Structure 1
Amino acid sequence: MGPENQEQQLLVEYEIPADESVSMAAVHAVSSLKECEPWELSPLYRTIDPEMLDDLCESQRDGIVKFVYSGFHITVEEGEYLLLRPADHG
């Protein structure tokens, strides 16, 4: 398996449910990947202000927001999808 295939396997896409905020989706996606409960993770507000994140993603539907949380690079695309990649892989 070449480096490109390894990189693709390390990227996880998570569709944000319509009834869930971006901030909660990030916490749920990371806890799912880490196979732990959301409350076992470091609070998101230690990385990024959850309210600001939600407001920004709501107002910039065609934009991209990136941040690192609990060992993952997280990219929010169009306020509808999260792309998660382990932080130790580039």
Structure 2
Amino acid sequence: MSNDTARSSPSPSRPAGDDSSEFDGRLDDGSDTIILEIVEAVAAVTNQELVAMSPLYDTVDPEALTDLVTSARDQSVDVSFSYEGCRVTVSSDECVVVEPTER
């Protein structure tokens, strides 16, 4: 994993080391929490304030995304999309990976 990649696993999300663009945490169940985890991970990678970012719902339907990854516990499901210059992958195993696509 590069220094410009954020991976979310066990809550709460926290810096994993000295590099503030990388952290580990897991998604909690619940739409608001999943969406907040995604937006916070993208903000960390892009060094943006949350209020300066476009709403996630302009890119993906948050309710549909949450339903898809939380209801697929018996199967492996990965959903990827672009948001704020990053490729975001959300998995049914409760992981979020954020990788910058622009420099």
Q: CA deviation at 1:33?
A: 2.0
1:66 corresponds to 2:80: yes
Q: TM-score, normalised by structure 2?
A: 0.67
1:48 corresponds to 2:42: no
Give the alignment partner of residue 25 of structure 1, picking from 33, 37, 44. Answer: 37
Residues 28, 34 of structure 2: 8 Å contact kept: no
The one-letter amino acid paired with 2:37 is A
Q: Which runs of 5 or more residues in structure 1 are unaligned?
A: 1-7
Size of the alignment, in residue pairs?
82
The one-letter amino acid paired with 1:22 is I
Q: CA deviation at 1:46?
A: 0.8
Residue aligned with 1:21, SS: helix
The one-letter amino acid paired with 1:86 is P
Greater share of residues in helix? 1
Post-superposition CA distance 1:6-35 (Å, at most 9, x none): xx4143311234266322211111112223
Query: CA separation in 2, counterparts of 1:58 and 1:78?
Result: 6
Identity of aligned residues (%): 32
Match of 1:14 in 2: 8
